[in-house]
Amino acid sequence: MNPAVKKHIRFVLEDDNEVMSAGLRGDLDEENKRMNRELIKRHEAILAKLDNGETFSQADLQLIRDANEVHVNDGANLNGHHRQAVKLDRWLDHMMELDKDKAMQILEGWLDKDARTPARVYRALHALWEEATPNDVAAGPVFDDEGRCLKCGSKVAFADVTDTVVFVGDEIVKRYDGDITNRNCVRCNHPKQYSDFAHYDDDGGSTTRANRHQSGTARR
């Protein structure tokens, strides 16, 4: 490990521990004091790993990232460690596992920066995403095959449809029909708006609903 990175990890953990120790001497409530003590211990365990040259777990890296964040955000460099903090943040990017959501976000972010990114590149990215998540929502199915919410049995959902549009200058020259994303049960997620649509659900009986609720829970 780069000695400068190592030194800065030590700094952010020790610095955070100092802040939390001060909190323990102050008027924090018991629950917060307990959390501070817990976190101080976990930071100390990471510092011991640092001394012994042991490998960090993903959870360790996340705690390092959390402790470093205040210095990354310190753009005015009031604490004098902003530059090292940004370097450590980059190093963490390399060390930390990416989940699919995050990977997708990063790639889309970069593609968006270049106005000449062809639509087919986005389509390729979305094809890979769908391959990786067959139910198109990573959290697992939330609607049954008749389109009813597995939690409450309602058929009414709000959904976003993402079309890919090709602009030439200000003009749209082609539109690729998109896929449905972010499909959310209106009754569960937007209860205030549900009354406008409740009549669409009128055919369903409440017994079916209760059964569906149970099977939905069991599947998670």
Q: Which residues bind Zn ion (CB under 5 A)?
A: 149, 151-152, 154, 185, 187-188
Q: Residue 176's closest CA among 186, 161, 160, 189?
A: 161
Handedness of CA 125, 127, 132, 135 (dihedral sign): positive
Q: How many CB atoms lie within 10 A of CB 182?
A: 13
Cα 150 from Cα 141, distance rounded (Å)? 8
Which 3 state secondary structure label does DSSP give 3? helix
Nearer Cβ to Zn ion, position 111 or 198? 198
Least separation in angstroms between residue 196's CB and Zn ion is 15
Sign of the alpha-carbon torsion through 210, 137, 65, 55: positive
CB of residue 100 vs Zn ion: minimum separation in angstroms?
A: 25
Nearer to Zn ion, 10 or 213 (CB): 213
Q: Which is nearer to Zn ion, 32 or 189 (CB)?
A: 189
Supply the minimum distance, in Å, between the C-beta of residue 179 and Zn ion: 21
Q: How far apart are CA 153 and CA 188, in angstroms?
A: 10
Residue among 68 and 154 whose Cβ is closer to Zn ion: 154
* Residue 211 beta carbon to Zn ion: minimum distance, rounded to whole angstroms: 14
Compute the least distance from the CB of residue 80 to Zn ion, in Å.
51
Nearer to Zn ion, 6 or 209 (CB): 209
Angle at 102 between CA 96 and CA 106, to 5 degrees: 100
